[in-house]
Structure 1
Amino acid sequence: MKKIRFSRVLTLGATTIIIFLVLLFFIFRNSSIVKTITSPISGITSKFDYFISYPFRLVSSAKDEVLDLLDTYSENESLKKSISEMKDQSSEVEYLTEENQSLASALEIEDAFSSHKTLTSKVTVRSTLSWYDNLTMGVGKKDGVTSSMLAVSDGGLIGKVSDLSSSSTTLQLVSNSEGTYEIPVKMSNSAGDVYGILTGYDSKKNALVIEELNIDRELNKDDEVVTSGLDGKSIAGISVGKVSSVSKSKDISKRKVYVNPTANLDSISYITLIGS
């Protein structure tokens, strides 16, 4: 009796397994049924994966942003350094260019006044407190400098010797508004020559001042002004500048001529002393 019951159980179990396998076969053979069953499962699984992976994706994104910021910072620092180096090089090139131009101008002056004694030297001392008043050169008595020499830079008169030692020379610049010069000059135009004395500098007009004119003759804007050498000590023919204006006065002794200097008095590098 027990054997019969056990045989029935086995038969029932085998039948159930066969039915289950047939059902699975039918389900997997039918793609629409598979999709219907797996779609909710896939949705739940993908949401679960997204939730679990979010912190990792957040960290990865933050890492990429930090790396991008570090790369940007590094590039900016490198760019700043390059710009700074370019500015330094540009300043150095500009300085050397100006210095070379000044030296070339000094050599031209030496050639133009080759019949006179000339000494060219670089500026050694120029204080910001007295920038437009005086400066010092690295040549002196032992080099042949004399107190009557005039100083020229960039093709134009810039001053005269005011103090002299064995190895250095101090110049009083023509832009010294407190200075006294008494340098004889000549102004020329088609009407003829007018002689006078360079006596000072007008800081308000930024112009040299010429007085003591020898004749009542009309002077025009941009008339050439050069040294005349009529004091018997200074050299003639050094460019001083161009007439900018003339004060109105019937009395010739009170008339003043204002002159824009030839030389750039803001920037002086090489100076040539000219004399005898």
Structure 2
Amino acid sequence: MPQFFLNKRLIILLVSIIILVALIGFSLREREQLTWPEQFVKDTAGWVQSLVSRPARYIAGFVENLQDLQNTYDENKELKKRLDDIARLEARVHSLEKDNKELQEILDVKESLADYEPKQATVIGRSPDHWHELLIINKGKSNGVKQNMAVMTPGGLIGKVKSATTFTATVQLLSSMDPKNRISAVIQGETPEERHFGTIEGFDKNDELLLLKGIPYDVKVTKGQNVVTSGLGGVFPKDLPVGTVVKTVPDEYGLNQTAYVQPGADFYDIEHVMVVKRQMPGPNIENAGEGGL
């Protein structure tokens, strides 16, 4: 008797599977019309889905709007803070401008070491034998270009005018190993005590870094500090960007230290340059390295 019931259950299971497979196959075949049970199930499912989706979309939209409001609030708060900072800076700048104007009137100073007149020029020649040292530009004496004028690119200072003809000029790059190729420079700092003066003398060809020498041994120089022209050499304007400090090493006698400076300009790829004419006349310094440093 138990064996009979077991066989009966097995038969019912097999018949059910066959019917299920037949129904699946029947429902999957292509038909122009669905049976009424299929239509009823689909219509009911669609109605329930639309009934549920509307509140779900509304809730999702509400939550998204709340998030947008929160983001807007945070952004507005940050913008207000920046506006307050800008207002304080504008007030500070206005005060400094007023003080500077008054001091200039007291001292009767009309010019600054940082004032200069730029002259655009294009590189028209570069000797493979002197690739790291010299290049020729298409502006000369007829354009107001003179010996020892600073030459730079948007990245920073690249050198000085070594000589000039009527229509062209030869530029000596900072990477030149000429011992007379010196430039008075300063490491910038947030305070006067953090400003350190030296001279750009030489170029490390292996690491492609400029050498800023003559820095006192007991001062602290931090990696990443900016190096600019000092304007004290009598020829170059003040604050022309040179590069950033990479490292410092003591000199052979331990009295000073040398800073290795990553140039801001690319000495290899130079097409357009700017010749810089200093506005404030410099002192009459003869044979002072940079042609006046």
Range into which the TM-score falls when normalised by the shorter chain = 0.5 to 0.7
2:236 aligns to what SS in structure 1?
Answer: coil
Q: Indicate if the aligned counterparts of 1:182 and 1:199 stay in contact, CA closer than 8 A.
A: yes
2:188 aligns to what SS in structure 1?
Answer: strand
Which residue does 2:92 correspond to in 1? none
Q: For the residues of structure 2 that align with 1:250 and 1:162, how far apart are their CA atoms?
A: 31
Q: Indicate if the aligned counterparts of 2:150 and 2:236 stay in contact, CA closer than 8 A.
A: yes
Q: For the residues of structure 2 that align with 1:126 and 1:194, how far apart are their CA atoms?
A: 34
Q: For the residues of structure 2 that align with 1:275 and 1:221, how far apart are their CA atoms?
A: 31
1:256 aligns to what SS in structure 2?
Answer: strand
Which residue does 2:131 correspond to in 1? 131
1:244-259 matches, cutoff 5 A:
244-249=246-251, 253-259=255-261
Post-superposition shift, 1:250? 8.8
Change (3 A) 1:122 1:114: farther
- Equivalent residue letter for 1:237: D
Change (3 A) 1:136 1:250: closer
1:179-218 matches, cutoff 5 A:
180-190=180-190, 192-213=194-215, 216-218=218-220
Equivalent pairs counted in the alignment come to 164
- Equivalent residue letter for 1:200: G
Q: For the residues of structure 1 that align with 2:175 and 2:202, how far apart are their CA atoms?
A: 8
Change (3 A) 1:143 1:244: same
Post-superposition shift, 1:192? 1.1
Change (3 A) 1:118 1:214: farther
Q: Indicate if the aligned counterparts of 1:180 and 1:200 stay in contact, CA closer than 8 A.
A: no
1:246 aligns to what SS in structure 2?
Answer: strand
* Residue 272 of structure 1 pairs with residue 278 of structure 2: no
CA shift digits 1:172-221 (9 cap, x unpaired):
11112345322110102346100001111111221001112257310011
Q: Indicate if the aligned counterparts of 2:203 and 2:209 stay in contact, CA closer than 8 A.
A: yes
Which residue does 1:149 correspond to in 2? 149
Which residue does 1:261 correspond to in 2? 263
Which residue does 2:239 correspond to in 1? 237
Q: For the residues of structure 2 that align with 1:138 and 1:232, how far apart are their CA atoms?
A: 25
Which residue does 1:9 correspond to in 2? none
1:219 aligns to what SS in structure 2?
Answer: coil
Q: Indicate if the aligned counterparts of 2:115 and 2:237 stay in contact, CA closer than 8 A.
A: no
Change (3 A) 1:243 1:143: same
Post-superposition shift, 1:165? 1.1
Q: Higher helix fraction: Structure 1 or Structure 2?
A: 1
Equivalent pairs: percent with the same residue? 26
Two-structure CA RMSD over aligned residues (Å):
2.2
2:195 aligns to what SS in structure 1?
Answer: strand
Q: For the residues of structure 2 that align with 1:220 and 1:251, how far apart are their CA atoms?
A: 22
Choose the corresponding residue for 1:228, options 227, 230, 237: 230
- Equivalent residue letter for 1:142: S
Which residue does 1:172 correspond to in 2? 172
TM-score, L = length of structure 1:
0.55
Q: For the residues of structure 1 that align with 2:252 and 2:219, how far apart are their CA atoms?
A: 11
Q: Select the structure of larger CA radius of gyration.
A: 1
Stretch moving more, 252-261 or 220-229: 252-261
Q: Which structure 1 residue ranges, 5 or more long, are not aligned?
A: 1-112
Stretch moving more, 242-251 or 149-158: 242-251
Q: Indicate if the aligned counterparts of 1:177 and 1:203 stay in contact, CA closer than 8 A.
A: no
Stretch moving more, 170-179 or 143-152: 170-179
- Equivalent residue letter for 2:226: E
Q: Which structure 2 residue ranges, 5 or more long, are not aligned?
A: 1-112, 279-293
Q: Indicate if the aligned counterparts of 1:140 and 1:167 stay in contact, CA closer than 8 A.
A: yes
Q: For the residues of structure 1 that align with 2:265 and 2:239, how far apart are their CA atoms?
A: 15
Q: Indicate if the aligned counterparts of 1:154 and 1:264 stay in contact, CA closer than 8 A.
A: no
Change (3 A) 1:144 1:215: farther
Change (3 A) 1:249 1:129: closer
- Equivalent residue letter for 2:258: K
